[in-house]
Structures are given as structure tokens and as C-alpha cells.
Amino acid sequence: RMLVDSLIVPGCVYRPGSFTGLMTVYESNYIKLGALTTDFEFPALSMVSTSARDNDLHAQLVRREPYTTTLKLTYWFEEAGGLFVPDPDLIIRIYHDARLAEAVASRDRHTHHKLRELAGDSGAELDRRWRINMMLNKWLDYLFDVGHSLTGKNETFVSAV
């Protein structure tokens, strides 16, 4: 199965870093996230997707409303001393009616060096949104490539506490 977000044709020409371009990234995020789920129906409040080729992916349903769903996606990395740190720890808002998915928040400081490279320094709001949403976009490609799924195929469901 191949993702076909490359078939997105923006309604107008856009520049990277522009608002119009950002909306195209949100559309791409929606398509890619949709490939990891079944109609954005999350069967439990907390899920863990396992892949033999990657760390466990932790997903938490934060909020479900008529037109939006808020989801938290993260890995847990072990630091020295046995402490576990969530990273990248992205909060994603899915706009079902508009068919967009936006990373709205992430950690200020990433533990993993590759995530630090992707995140860059904080800047203007539009630049910040570009950075975290491009990081989400690339991460979704990676999650799909290594076999993660939030469809019930390879995850476990964690009961609400």
C-alpha cells in the first residue's frame, strides 16, 4: 500500500513557509495519518502500536468532538537513571470536516538528536507551525514505512485508569 499525498494539487501556487503551503502540509498530514488508522476511529483511549523495526508508538485519544479529534502521539525513550521521557510528544488536532491534521504542540526540547535537528529553533508562529508540522509529516511517513498501525492490526489497547 502506498501513500498518495503527492497527488494533492494546491488551489494556487504556494511557497514553502507560506500560509497556503502550510494548509497543504496539513492536508498531507491528514492523508498520512488516515493511512495509519481506519476512518480515524480510535478503538480505545490509549493504544500502543508495536513494530519489529521501531520503538513502540504510543497514541492517546485526548478529546473527541463532532468535527475534531485531538490525539497525542509519542515514543518513550529511556534516559540515564531509568527515567522515561516522551519524545516527540506531538499533540495533533484532526479537523474531519476540512480533512486536515495539524500538529498543535510538541516538546520544547527533544531528547533524541534527530528530533532536535527536525525541530530547529523557535521562531515566528508561522515558522513554528511549519517546523512541527513538517516534523509530523516526515514522522508519519516513517511510521507507515516501519509498519505501525492504529487500526487494531498491531497495537494493544490500554484501559483508561
Supply 99's cell numbers.
480533512
Nearest to 140 by CA among 51, 29, 40, 6: 29
The Cα–Cα gap between 57 and 49 comes to: 5
> For the whole model, what pTM was predicted?
0.77
How many other β-carbons are positioned within 10 Å of the β-carbon of residue 154?
Answer: 15
Q: Angle at Cα 110 formed by Cα 125 and Cα 112, nearest 5°?
A: 140
Per-residue confidence (pLDDT) for residue 41, from 0 to 100: 78
Burial of 101 (0-12, 13-18, 19+ CB in 10 A): buried
Per-residue confidence (pLDDT) for residue 161, from 0 to 100: 35
Provide φ and ψ at 156, rounded to 5°.
-110, 155
| Consecutive 10-residue averages of pLDDT for the chain (161 residues) | 55 68 93 87 83 91 93 88 85 96 78 56 72 91 91 54 35
Residue 71 falls in which region: left (phi positive, over 0), alpha (psi -120 to 50) or beta: beta
Nearest to 79 by CA among 40, 110, 115, 39: 110
